[in-house]
């Protein structure tokens, strides 16, 4: 099957105009290539698929055992592709216009308690350069709500200790200023003064804030491995994800009365609806506290 020029043009547009990350572009390519391969035996090109073709494709996926969330993701990719085709004048109609997405339950993000956070933050050894680095990274995650990918991508030019802020580049290449907080700022300063120079000794200069013993930038995978090790050492048995401290950051802010709009800005969400998921977490905790402590709970 030959490469589809409409697909290539669509991906070029997402890369050049919207600045989407390579992993996101690859996901669009996989979804749309799967549809193109399914259409090929029917003699239908990707750009020419009808509403009936798309319904048959999604139905076949569901019969093969695909979950509603996966089907919704495919449909989202298809919508974006065919809307691009109509906007570009490459076809007259949008075959996804009258296709409804499957209903999804709204999952609550996994988080951990404030006591568990304290135990996790205290797990690294502050007398070891790697421990100083990891403590600073964990403190930053919890104090700022950064994504792990944003944390490991930090460069020294993005850190402003005097003003106590980070200049972070998030999804869609959107920049935002994030306050460090006093405690996280102190741990970061300690790492930059004593931990990082020890790790960089004998290596060429590097822009990355957080580096390995080889003087190279930390990776998401390496840091996630260390988070799991520290969680085990801290006796945390809850299921963790790379975003656990980001979720804890948002949940604990709301628990202590922060405004949802402020949390949205700090997390770098483009839409408030994305942030509103955390109100369910905070509300559930308030109900549990009421039931436990109120005389008529």
Catalytic center residues: 147, 171, 243, 246, 269, 278
d(CA 181, CA 70): 38
219-233 b/e (C-beta count within 10 Å ≥ 16 → b)? eeeebeebbeebbee
Task: Please report which helix (H) or strand (E) contains residue 293, including its range.
Answer: helix 277-293
Transcribe 62-74 into DSSP letters.
Answer: HHTT--HHHHHHH
Determine phi and psi for 37, rounding to 5 degrees: -65, -35
Torsion (CA) 183, 187, 190, 196 in degrees, nearest 10: -160
Q: How many CA atoms lie within 13 A of 60 on its CB side?
A: 10
Transcribe 155-200 into DSSP letters.
Answer: BGGGEETTTTEEEEE-GGG-EEEEE--HHHHHHHHHIIIIIHHHHH
Partners of 166 in beta bridges: 159, 178
Residue whose pair of structure tokens reads 């050049």 in the numeric block: 16
């Amino acid at each position: 099957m030959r490469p589809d020029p409409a697909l290539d043009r669509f991906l070029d547009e997402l890369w050049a105009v919207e600045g989407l990350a390579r992993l996101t572009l690859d996901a669009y390519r996989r979804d749309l290539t799967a549809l193109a391969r399914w259409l090929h035996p029917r003699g239908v090109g990707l750009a020419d698929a009808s509403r009936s073709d798309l319904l048959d494709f999604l139905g076949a996926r569901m019969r093969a055992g695909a979950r509603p969330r996966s089907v919704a993701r495919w449909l989202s990719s298809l919508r974006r592709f065919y809307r691009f085709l109509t906007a570009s004048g490459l076809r007259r109609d949008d075959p996804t216009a009258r296709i409804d997405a499957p209903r999804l339950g709204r999952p609550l993000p996994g988080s951990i308690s404030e006591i568990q956070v304290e135990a996790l933050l205290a797990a690294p050894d502050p007398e070891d350069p790697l421990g100083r680095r990891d403590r600073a990274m964990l403190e930053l995650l919890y104090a700022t709500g950064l994504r792990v990918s944003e944390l490991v991508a930090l460069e020294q030019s993005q850190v402003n200790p005097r003003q106590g802020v980070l200049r972070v580049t998030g999804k869609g290449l959107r920049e935002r200023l994030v306050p460090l907080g006093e405690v996280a700022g102190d741990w970061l300063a300690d790492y930059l003064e004593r931990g990082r120079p020890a790790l960089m000794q004998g290596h060429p200069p590097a822009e990355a804030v957080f580096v390995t013993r080889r003087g190279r930038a930390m990776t998401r995978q390496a840091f996630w491995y260390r988070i799991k090790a520290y969680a085990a050492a801290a006796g945390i048995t809850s299921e963790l994800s790379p975003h656990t401290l980001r979720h804890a950051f948002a949940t604990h802010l709301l628990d202590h009365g922060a405004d949802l709009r402020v949390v949205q800005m700090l997390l770098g969400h483009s839409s408030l609806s994305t942030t509103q998921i955390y109100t369910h977490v905070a509300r559930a905790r308030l109900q549990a506290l009421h039931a436990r402590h109120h005389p008529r709970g």
